[in-house]
Amino acid sequence: MLHSARRIRPPLRLLNAAALVPLLGGCQTVVLNPAGDVARQQGDLVVISTMLMLLIVVPVMALIGLFAWRYRSANTEARYEPDWDHSTQLELVIWAAPLMIIICLGALTWVGTHLLDPYRPLARTAPQQPVNAAVKPLDVQVVALDWKWLFIYPEYGIATVNEFAAPVDRPVSFRISSSSVMNSFYIPALAGQIYAMPGMETKLHAVFNEPGEFKGFSANYSGAGFSHMRFAARSLSPAAFDAWVAEAKGGGGALDRAGYLELERPSENVPVARFANVETGLFDKVVNMCVEPGKMCMTDMMEIDAKGGLGLASAHNVRRLHYDKTGGRGTGPLVDRRVVAALCAQDESKSAHSHVKAGPSAPVDLAPLTGVGLSRPADRTGLTLIPSARAETSAPARP
């Protein structure tokens, strides 16, 4: 009786598999059915590449089953050739077919990599629809913050947090950067992902072809709030987009440098916010890591270095660089930050040198810098420097 009961009970594994089938109804195929021409071309590359690889995978799997069945031990009619070791025809098939597929995949990848280069401006907005030269691309500046997204529209002077909108059939030109750590900007319905890195700028060109509400998110782990680093991506008609811009201009405050420094502080589950006014050049300051008042921009540093530098007179300035090395941006207080001071304004120059105090001239110890926790020698100019958080040290004077 026990054995018969076990035979009529359906297998537990089949029941578990059947219970999972309804859950597949929530799956979305946005990658293969996107709303943008760039993402659609990328999806086509995935499908074509998969089909080309299946030309090898499917026959191999079928032949495995065929050989196992034909040459089973019970098949006494199978031909037995223990001395067989070579077949020219079989070698041609084994090598020629994969080689042709590799050539096709290589050509497809090479062409797609160049045509879909994220830095390449769009040549079309849809199949058989070249870009109209009279239409200006929508410039959108994107900053990855901890843990939220900032979108700046310099053409309209507005900015949003965790909300992106663009009109249908108008090319979008993204300029992307990050505030603290490397991140990844990804809207599956629009285009492939591209990295956002602090102190650097990446580009992405894309276009929406269908109106709708889509999702964007971070595709690169960036800390505790990564799971909630999502934003709404809205594809609107031209009239609806103009209304959205007017609504953003009608409400919300202004985003200046001080406001950005507060915004970049780590926070999770941030609701959508809009700013009616944005300080001019804010994104460029973010890229050059000089949003803080009085801090020298990277472009200025590079220009100074290209001209030979400032010599020993600037040593005290460079030694003050602290938070970019040991602390995340936005995590510390907004006052008393140690930065490389800008040289373009007199008041900023004074505040940058406020930590320097005059002292008697003293000989400089030329011994190698060794050890930890030793006192800092006097500067060649006779100015004594206050040790920073990671001060350089010097060995004791030689007898």
Q: What are phi and psi of 64, to 5 degrees?
A: -60, -45
Do residues 273 and 251 make contact, with C-beta atoms less than 8 angstroms apart? no
Give the range among 69-83, 147-161, 337-351 with minimum mean pLDDT.
Answer: 337-351
* Percentage above 90 pLDDT, the chain: 34
Q: Inform me whether the pLDDT recorded for 349 exceeds 70.
A: no
378 vs 113, residue with greater confidence: 113
Q: Inform me whether the pLDDT recorded for 1 exceeds 60.
A: no
Confidence category of residue 29, pLDDT binned at 50, 70, 90: confident
Count of Cβ atoms closer than 10 Å to residue 53 Cβ: 13
In this structure, the strands spanning 172-178 and 163-167 are unpaired
End-to-end CA distance of the chain: give it in Å, rounded: 100
Average of pLDDT values for 64-76? 86
Q: What pLDDT score was predicted for residue 225?
A: 86
Please calculate the CA angle 338-339-340 and round it to the nearest 5 degrees. 140
Q: Inform me whether the pLDDT recorded for 378 exceeds 50.
A: no
Q: What pLDDT score was predicted for residue 3?
A: 47
* CA-wise closest residue to 282 among 304, 302, 258: 258
* Percentage above 70 pLDDT, the chain: 71
Q: What pLDDT score was predicted for residue 226?
A: 87
Q: What pLDDT score was predicted for residue 15?
A: 60
Long-range contacts, stretch 382-387, CB < 8 angstroms, 24+ apart: 382/358, 383/316, 383/356, 383/357, 383/358, 383/359, 384/357, 384/359, 385/316, 385/319, 385/355, 385/356, 386/355, 386/356, 386/357
Average pLDDT, whole number, for the chain? 77
Q: What pLDDT score was predicted for residue 18?
A: 58
* CA-wise closest residue to 396 among 365, 373, 372: 365
Q: Inform me whether the pLDDT recorded for 353 exceeds 80.
A: no
Which pTM was predicted?
A: 0.71
Confidence category of residue 339, pLDDT binned at 50, 70, 90: low
Residue 249, C-beta contacts closer than 8 angstroms, at least 6 positions apart: 156, 157, 158, 276
Rounded Cα distance, 355 and 340, in Å: 13
Q: What pLDDT score was predicted for residue 111?
A: 86
The 8-class DSSP code of residue 249 comes to H
pLDDT digit string, tens, across residues 96-110: 888 999 999 999 888
Residue 102, C-beta contacts closer than 8 angstroms, at least 6 positions apart: none
Q: Which of 28-42, 260-274, 342-356 has the highest mean pLDDT?
A: 260-274
Confidence category of residue 242, pLDDT binned at 50, 70, 90: very high
293 vs 394, residue with greater confidence: 293
Q: Inform me whether the pLDDT recorded for 88 exceeds 60.
A: yes
**Is the sign of the CA dihedral 151, 153, 157, 158 positive or negative?**
negative
369 vs 98, residue with greater confidence: 98
pLDDT digit string, tens, across residues 165-206: 999 999 999 999 999 889 999 999 999 899 999 989 999 999
Q: 3-class DSSP state for residue 373?
A: coil
Average of pLDDT values for 337-355? 48
Q: Inform me whether the pLDDT recorded for 326 exceeds 70.
A: no
Q: Inform me whether the pLDDT recorded for 316 exceeds 90.
A: no
